[in-house]
Structure 1
Amino acid sequence: MKTSKALLIGVFSMTLLNATAAEQKIRTPFLDGWDQIPLAEMEKKAADFAGAYWIAGPGQRKQMALTFDDGPTEHTRELLKVLKKHNIHATFFWLGKQAEQFPNIVKEAAAAGHTIGNHSYDHPYSSKLSASVFNSSQIVPTQKIFQSILGFAPTLFRPPYGDLSDAEMALLQKNNMHAISWSVDTRDWLVAWNKGQPAEIEKVVLNYAHPEAIVLMHDGGGPRQSTIAAVDAFIPKLKEQGYEFITVDKLLGVAGKQ
């Protein structure tokens, strides 16, 4: 039996795609004793909701998305200065209650070209809520807050702690939103807890950097001077390795606002 040229090209293209597709896998190890969601649960969610729940980008481009959670806060403006210094854009997953407190910072970040994402209203474990309560108390109010401040609502949602039920994931899909996890947890939250040094955060990023990584950091929820200093230090080193820094929506090729 002869195999058509078109079929051969199709098979080759699919093989190439599979060979270059990024694995939806969290690279940094699990830490016991911190009430974290098991990594396998997040990875399963990415498999079950492929194209809607993301841990990393879809390919192997030498690009990276830096993300910051829990703001905006009094630390955010200093972080924005560092990002401007290095001429890069990041993605901020912010809480509705914080956006209400610092609306001008929200406007400044968006005007500077950064992407704004929804991180819930007040940071609950989402799966402990019913899907309807999750929507009415966390998603909808926060979307309305960003709409009132920016004139648009985000399409990207990061579940606090990475915790999200299947029903809540389906609800996000219905609302044309993407769930964004991370492939690299810098543990800047643990460094802040332990009053550690910026070099600890920098070391994690450099050790676990990979093409199309989504990197988790924070500009809220605690003291963030070490995070800001680490960002200032590791960006030039990763640029020297050939990395380009882009926002999550550009990494995934999706709209960042609706």
Structure 2
Amino acid sequence: MSPRWKQVAAVAATALISVTGLQAAGPAQAAPVTGSKTVYFTFDDGPGTGTAELLDATAAYDAKVSLFYTGRHGEQSPELVARAAAEGHVIGNHTYSHRRLPTLTGAEVEQELIKARTALEPYVSNCWRPPGWQTSPAIEQIAKSLGLRQTLSIMDPMESRRVFIPASWTDEDQIVSTVREKVFDGAMVTLHAETSGAGAQLRAFERLLPLLTAQGYRFKALPYCGMPTVKLLAVGDGISGAGEYRTELDALLRRGAEPHGLNFRWVGDVAGNPRVGISHDEYAGWTTQQVDRNISRLQSAHQPDVILVNAGGVDMQRGATANTVARRTAALLAHIRENQPDVTVLVSIPTAPAATPAPAARRSTVTLEAAKRKGAKPKTAKPKKAQPKAAKPSAAQQKAAKQTAALQRAMRAVIRDAGAGFHAVDLRGLALDGGDRAQRTVANRYYRALRGAVPGSSTWAADPQP
């Protein structure tokens, strides 16, 4: 396992988050108990006048928190950013100037994030949060293309796993009672306690530390913010057009893997939007040889961590035999390994064209209603003694089935011989132009293969719904 994958696996192991459901807080106990539950405190809009006091409070309880800083404030107080990072807290990107992102152009959003990252380096993580929590799928995709993970909740955005205290709240008692009432094991609690005018939220946080400690809580920074972003490069055929299966796979990863610690983004021609797929020569897709001629350039430019090779189907459509496809794939995999010895590669094993048998022929019958319309005397149907036999596969179908079986044997041998890090994705039964259902099936098969191949992926959902 490469050092990078060891880091991914190690952080993934810490990203396991238990769910005990919403529960009301009980009365504070007289003495602290050993913490068995976790709460993730996050703070927005700093650093500022309350940051030093906030850090002093966390140090007293060995608490780690996540601090989403604006680049402008970071430039004004670089010593506070450095201190927070040195004491083990996570620094997140909260844009440079705290502008409302939905009012900006895509280029302006990108500059807000890049400028903030530059201002907060080398301490900033790959987590970010939009000002006012105002975002959109387009904004999130821009951030993802920069390797940033939008952080509005611990788990899936569809689930409410957060306790949010608006910046406008200034009643200290109200803040304390609200957090104590709504906190639960694994909750993310967001406060605004570092800027001028936020004294009530800072004092509320200082009161909450001993109260929650007495209830058995520990305070941790968001675990996945320190995890490297896994870069995915997809090459080869789109199952029915320009990379459509990758749109489905993107949804599966967001639903099933991202909540369990995976930070990922697409690189290459699909970067920024899986629907902008690698169309190559439009519908036909690339042959394995075409992928091979371009793979060194793509690896050099993007340094992917995982490569999804969906090739071979077009080769067979154009007359290549199973042995020819296997030989071309072996050359491609050898070049991938030469370019990046530690890369993880998922290799599809396609179906030979026309391998799916035609449906059985059915005997035509005349219904009573049809007979009446035609003026004919209907006949009472007699029970059939036996069902008609299924049509015998044509010579072309028999040949395709043999080719598919031969391809399975040859490709599995090639993938096995390629060594560690290479994994098969079986696409038997799926035609290259199989439509939406085939896209979803291909995405599911790639997801299952990724779940077994990526270090730390054993915690991913087994069967997520996109």
Do both share a fold (TM > 0.5)? Answer: yes
**Contact 2:50 2:196 (8 Å CA) reproduced:** no
Q: 1:176 aligns with which of 147, 163, 171?
A: 147
* 1:166 to 2:137 alignment: yes
Partner in structure 2 of residue 242 of structure 1: 216
1:64-85 deviation digits (Å, cap 9, x = unpaired): 1101111111211011111111
Deviates more, 1:121-130 or 1:65-74: 121-130
Partner in structure 1 of residue 110 of structure 2: 135
Corresponding letter in the other structure for 1:167? A
- Alpha-carbon distance change, 254 to 146 in structure 1, aligned in 2, over 3 angstroms: closer
Query: How does 1:63-82 map onto structure 2 within 5 Å?
Result: 63-82=38-57
Partner in structure 2 of residue 103 of structure 1: 78
Partner in structure 1 of residue 355 of structure 2: none
**Contact 2:39 2:188 (8 Å CA) reproduced:** yes
SS of 1:173 mapped into structure 2: helix
1:210-250 deviation digits (Å, cap 9, x = unpaired): 221111111344422222221111122212222221101x1
Alpha-carbon distance between aligned partners in 2 of 1:172 and 1:163, rounded to the nearest angstrom: 13
Partner in structure 1 of residue 207 of structure 2: 233
Alpha-carbon distance between aligned partners in 1 of 2:65 and 2:74, rounded to the nearest angstrom: 17
**Contact 2:19 2:186 (8 Å CA) reproduced:** no
- Alpha-carbon distance change, 115 to 238 in structure 1, aligned in 2, over 3 angstroms: same
**Contact 1:126 1:134 (8 Å CA) reproduced:** yes
* 1:89 to 2:64 alignment: yes
**Contact 2:64 2:219 (8 Å CA) reproduced:** yes
Alpha-carbon distance between aligned partners in 1 of 2:228 and 2:65, rounded to the nearest angstrom: 15
Instruction: Give TM-score, length-normalised by structure 1.
Output: 0.68
Partner in structure 2 of residue 154 of structure 1: 125
**Contact 1:72 1:219 (8 Å CA) reproduced:** no
**Contact 1:66 1:217 (8 Å CA) reproduced:** yes
Task: Tell me the CA shift for residue 254 of structure 1.
Answer: 4.6
Partner in structure 1 of residue 183 of structure 2: 209
Partner in structure 2 of residue 29 of structure 1: none
**Contact 2:41 2:191 (8 Å CA) reproduced:** yes
Alpha-carbon distance between aligned partners in 2 of 1:83 and 1:257, rounded to the nearest angstrom: 26
Task: Tell me the CA shift for residue 184 of structure 1.
Answer: 0.8
SS of 2:191 mapped into structure 1: strand
Alpha-carbon distance between aligned partners in 2 of 1:111 and 1:90, rounded to the nearest angstrom: 12
Alpha-carbon distance between aligned partners in 1 of 2:194 and 2:225, rounded to the nearest angstrom: 26
Task: Tell me the CA shift for residue 209 of structure 1.
Answer: 0.3
Task: Tell me the CA shift for residue 191 of structure 1.
Answer: 2.7
RCO greater where, 1 or 2, for CA within 8 Å and sep 6 or more?
1
**Contact 1:154 1:257 (8 Å CA) reproduced:** no
Alpha-carbon distance between aligned partners in 2 of 1:69 and 1:77, rounded to the nearest angstrom: 15
Alpha-carbon distance between aligned partners in 1 of 2:107 and 2:93, rounded to the nearest angstrom: 17
* 1:191 to 2:169 alignment: yes
Alpha-carbon distance between aligned partners in 2 of 1:91 and 1:232, rounded to the nearest angstrom: 16
Alpha-carbon distance between aligned partners in 2 of 1:165 and 1:201, rounded to the nearest angstrom: 28
Instruction: Give TM-score, length-normalised by structure 2.
Output: 0.39
Matched-pair identity in %: 25
Alpha-carbon distance between aligned partners in 2 of 1:145 and 1:79, rounded to the nearest angstrom: 22
Corresponding letter in the other structure for 2:130? P
Aligned length: 191
Alpha-carbon distance between aligned partners in 1 of 2:57 and 2:126, rounded to the nearest angstrom: 26
Corresponding letter in the other structure for 2:221? T
**Contact 2:47 2:195 (8 Å CA) reproduced:** no
* 1:124 to 2:99 alignment: yes
Alpha-carbon distance between aligned partners in 1 of 2:146 and 2:134, rounded to the nearest angstrom: 18
- Alpha-carbon distance change, 122 to 76 in structure 1, aligned in 2, over 3 angstroms: same
1:35-74 deviation digits (Å, cap 9, x = unpaired): xxxxxxxxxxxxxxxxxxxxxxxxxx83111011111112
Corresponding letter in the other structure for 1:91? S
- Alpha-carbon distance change, 64 to 181 in structure 1, aligned in 2, over 3 angstroms: same
Q: Which of structures 1 and 2 has the bigger CA Rg?
A: 2
Alpha-carbon distance between aligned partners in 2 of 1:127 and 1:191, rounded to the nearest angstrom: 24
Alpha-carbon distance between aligned partners in 2 of 1:257 and 1:95, rounded to the nearest angstrom: 22
**Contact 2:49 2:195 (8 Å CA) reproduced:** no
Show structure 1 runs of 5+ residues with no match: 1-19, 26-60
Corresponding letter in the other structure for 2:134? D
Alpha-carbon distance between aligned partners in 2 of 1:91 and 1:244, rounded to the nearest angstrom: 14
**Contact 2:194 2:202 (8 Å CA) reproduced:** no
Alpha-carbon distance between aligned partners in 1 of 2:178 and 2:87, rounded to the nearest angstrom: 27
Corresponding letter in the other structure for 1:186? I
Partner in structure 1 of residue 296 of structure 2: none
Task: Tell me the CA shift for residue 21 of structure 1.
Answer: 5.9
Show structure 2 runs of 5+ residues with no match: 1-17, 23-35, 154-161, 230-466
Partner in structure 2 of residue 223 of structure 1: 197
Task: Tell me the CA shift for residue 255 of structure 1.
Answer: 2.1
